[in-house]
Copies of this chain bind each other. A is one copy, B any other.
Amino acid sequence: MKKSAPILPLDHRSRVAAERREKMRLRLLGTAMRIGAEKGPVAISIDDVILGAEVSRGSFYKYFPSVDALIREVATQVANELIQMAEPVVLGINDPAERLSCGIRLVSRIALTQPVVAAFLVQLGWPNVHKPDILLDFARRDLLVGIKLGRFTHMPLKLALNIVSGAVLGAAHCLLDPSTERNFAELSAEAALRALGLPANEAKEISTRPLLDLDLSTSALFRGDMLQIQ
């Protein structure tokens, strides 16, 4: 039994297996995201997922302990990948206002290239300010700095987070509708900066600075989205 097995090096075998595992995991997460984008995260059902990902029921439970775990996982995964893609762009900017403006614009504009990702984000709904949230954490530091420096009006951090959340969520929601103005993300960022206390002209200037689109090639999850859309 198992005649040829010992010939192959064990580390190679396990590496291949781990790769396959990761690929399948992403297939499941991607399918879940697509379904969540359409019907909302709570409506993600195992039947839809295993049908969409062409996986057997039993296999699914090898990757996720429960449907709820999958739902949580896909949410954090989406947030993580968004951050990972936005970070390098924002990294080179010092001004917290511009950093936030860029963040808002970059994430909102996902709706233009990756509607599924944006729809999923919108379906997630209002982030819970009280619980730790990876996307909010991303903005938190800039808001604190901006307020401390007096660049933003003095206000509770929660309110500042609300402003940013609303700007991103609202813009993403609207941009999913093709009839919406193409620069809606910029206008939303501009309004957020005003809400944070920047003068109108400065808010406009910052929000209209040229900004490259995100490089999605690093994201396995979002690349999957693009493939589906083609």
Contact = CB atoms under 8 A, between A and B. Distances in A.
A149 interface: no
A143 to B, nearest CB: 12
A126 B200 CA distance: 26
Contact of A126 (B167, B173, B180, B192): B173
Interface stretch (A23-31, A50-58, A183-191): A183-191
A5 interface: yes
A90 interface: no
A188 B40 CA distance: 28
A4 interface: yes
Contact of A181 (B43, B156, B177, B188): B156
B5 A170 contact: no
Interface in A62-82: none
A177 B173 CA distance: 26
A126 B129 contact: no
Nearest to A174: B158
Interface string A95-129: 00000000000000000000000000010011011
A200 B152 CA distance: 11
A146 interface: no
Contact of A42 (B40, B166, B171, B177): B40
Given A165-B170, A192-B195, A194-B197, 18 more contacts: A1-B4, A42-B43, A125-B125, A126-B169, A126-B173, A128-B173, A129-B173, A155-B187, A155-B191, A156-B184, A158-B180, A159-B170, A159-B188, A162-B171, A165-B166, A166-B169, A194-B195, A195-B195
